[in-house]
Chains A and B, each alone.
Chain A
């Protein structure tokens, strides 16, 4: 019963890659103007352009893999997260160690009506990058109820 992120997350990643591309082009444009007006080195423009293209290509290229390898699962005992293509990580967080569950959504996630879930322990925080609001609320209630149960049982 491992769950995959909603397919809409791919569009969010796509948009985010394009936005970082736009920002990169903006910076490159700035460098070009600086070259025209203040005689900055011309290779800075090429470096800016190259890095921007590289960043966008890598981000876009990784989307299908990122989507395919991203899995989460919530059982009665724990939250599991699996992610990564080349560096594969498996995280197990027992519900009884969870201190907080935070739901949040930036503009891109809101556009696709998704929410990011942050699961916090006393030591660190783990993110489930995007789920539908219904799933998010279910997760939150489930985790909080289970955490309360686990804590009461102690």
Chain B
């Protein structure tokens, strides 16, 4: 396939990107013009230049951007002054992400993000290409992975001569784009679960914003109302109206954030085909991520205190490297939400090494739990100490009651958090699956990590001199996620538990 330009729709993407960096330029120009007296001509000139950049830059970016797909890999060429050529061989491809906004659907276009195992910016990003290109890449990639050279597909993306596989699947492209391997197993998030997920993810942020707005307005209106000497009744009505408006805003922001989550995870589907997992979701923007199973480093079952109370869990995967935005904190979402009781039963069939039942963990023994509370209180006290300095300098008269109130809240919070963490820290060996399970907790969120022995990069224990005498230590597991490391630390485990894990990790040296 020859070098091809992106679809003209990509012009929109580039235009948007140009606007994003131009925004600051415009802001700067406006600020400058407001300060310095510039002549009319200069002002017009500046505006003219900005408009010219706005019109020309995307076109230049567009015309310099070409890509080609062949049986060896994907090549992307971009840049006007600095020509940049990115070569992505299929063997190096880690995850492929397909994103399709609803307005791209009628044109059979999508946005592709290709990510490799490389450390730096070896990532390929194609803002708008025909769906067939994505299929072609998946096809070649599967062919490269199975290591059996597929019969040469006459894969011209111009669509003129293509009769082979990628082109014939075109009709069903939008729903099932990956070819070759059959669907082995599929799980779709049901409406009820999605609903609960959306409701329990509602952020506190919009509420705070709304309350702030209310407070701001109240401050503005109150003195005015008094100054104007309007009767108490009218101001009462104004207050009612204000409360009603604030209520409306809160309800609206709830609704918007609820609908946003629903549309984002709409029809969330986890699919296993051969040795790959595919996650698709989204209503306005259809999002598809494909990742090879052998790249998964660990699976994380996560729940915050609210979800724990609702008996719901989120299942994520750590992958050696992932593409694009589908990841929250470098994690690949496997199932946004499902009943905790069913979490293992549902996900186990997708991942060969995952147990089908929740592991029975050895928790931090009760005699060591108070360390968590102590540490949490110490952190809280330290924060209070830092807070105290400016408080007593600038508000010496009101400092004591304020400081006392804040202290009570902070220390109570710290105590609860330490208590929570102490009761959700533990580890277990899953000898049949050759996996280690560890649970940790922070900020009222607990994480159960299941990691195969072969994916633990190194195992570390850490103990202070005093902790040694109490027969306890911290266990630190080093994992790889993305291009980086992730360490999972389980604190204050019983030493006997740790020795068992060490012996399992390196059995040959265990006798020593």
Contact = CB atoms under 8 A, between A and B. Distances in A.
Interface string B498-512: 000010011011000
B506 A77 contact: yes
Interface string B453-483: 0001111111111001000000000111000
A139 interface: no
Contacts of A90: 460-462
B485 interface: yes
Chain B contact residues, majority secondary structure:
strand
A91 B465 contact: no
Contacts of A84: 462
B457 A121 contact: yes
Contacts of B456: 97
A150 B456 CA distance: 15
Nearest to B466: A86
Contact of B461 (A78, A86, A89): A89
Interface of A is mostly: strand
Interface in A67-93: 75-78, 80, 84-93
B293 to A, nearest CB: 16
A90 B467 CA distance: 14
A88 B458 contact: no
A58 to B, nearest CB: 17
Nearest to A76: B508
Contacts of A80: 509
B462 A87 contact: yes
Interface string B476-494: 0011100011100000000
A93 B458 contact: yes
Nearest to A94: B506
Contacts of B463: 87-88
A76 to B, nearest CB: 7
Contacts of A92: 458-460, 502, 505-506
A88 B457 contact: no
Given A86-B464, A97-B458, A122 B480 contact: yes
A90 B505 CA distance: 14
A123 B479 contact: yes
B506 A88 contact: no
> Which of A86, A87, A121, A123 has the largest number of chain B CB atoms within 10 A?
A123
